[in-house]
């Protein structure tokens, strides 16, 4: 299994352990472990772009293991990431979170993206690998 792990320097030291980003086979995986500011969300999208630009990734797994509330700015960043992903051939997203949050995120992604909603990370990773 091809795997590389990239963890970006965070916006502030207090948030340095809030997320991880990695590539496994055909998928990028971003796991949020704590609250993410809108500015940090935008920085994560910027860090994500080089990973999807190489044409080897067609799926994204977004795992939210945090209770933070999404505001309009955060949803705007999700829409931006979905559009950017489509531009680079990432047209499948597994969204791993509680039911309400997965539905809200899926509703903000472009219609051309196939989504899979689950609350189980292993289930989402399994879907992403097929």
Q: Measuring CA to CA, which residue among 97, 107, 39, 45 is closest to residue 67?
A: 97
Global pTM reads: 0.83
Q: Is residue 75 part of a domain?
A: yes
Residue 7 lies inside a defined structural domain of this protein: no
CATH number for position 79: 3.30.750.24
Q: Please indicate, yes or no, if residue 3 is contained in any of the structural domains.
A: no
Residue 41 placed within a domain: yes
Residue by residue, DSSP assigns 4-63 as EEE-PPPSSGGGTTSEEEEEETTEEEEEE-S---HHHHHHHHHHHHHHHTTS---EEEEE
Is 27 a member of any domain? yes
Residues 52-81 pLDDT 10s: 988 889 999 999 887 767 778 888 889 999
Q: pLDDT tens for residues 6-63?
A: 333 332 222 346 788 889 989 999 988 777 777 888 888 888 999 898 888 999 999 9
Has residue 11 been placed in a domain? no
Domain of residue 81 covers: 16-128
Cα–Cα distance for residue pair 82/78, rounded to 1 Å = 6
Q: Tokens at residue 120, please? A: 């189980």
Q: What are phi and psi of 22, to 5 degrees?
A: -150, 165
Q: Which residue has the tokens 């086979």?
A: 25
> How many structural domains is the chain composed of?
1
């Amino acid at each position: 299994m091809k795997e590389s792990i990239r963890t970006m320097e965070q916006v502030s030291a207090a948030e340095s352990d809030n997320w991880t980003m990695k590539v496994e086979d055909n998928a990028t995986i971003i796991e949020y472990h704590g609250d993410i500011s809108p500015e940090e969300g935008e920085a994560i999208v910027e860090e994500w772009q080089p990973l999807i630009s190489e044409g080897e990734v067609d799926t994204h797994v977004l795992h939210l293991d945090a209770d933070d509330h999404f505001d309009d700015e955060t949803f705007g960043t999700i829409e931006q990431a979905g559009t950017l992903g489509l531009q680079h051939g990432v047209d499948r997203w597994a969204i791993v979170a509680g039911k309400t949050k997965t539905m809200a995120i899926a509703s903000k992604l472009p219609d051309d993206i196939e989504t899979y909603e689950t609350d189980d990370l292993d289930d989402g990773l399994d879907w992403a690998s097929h």
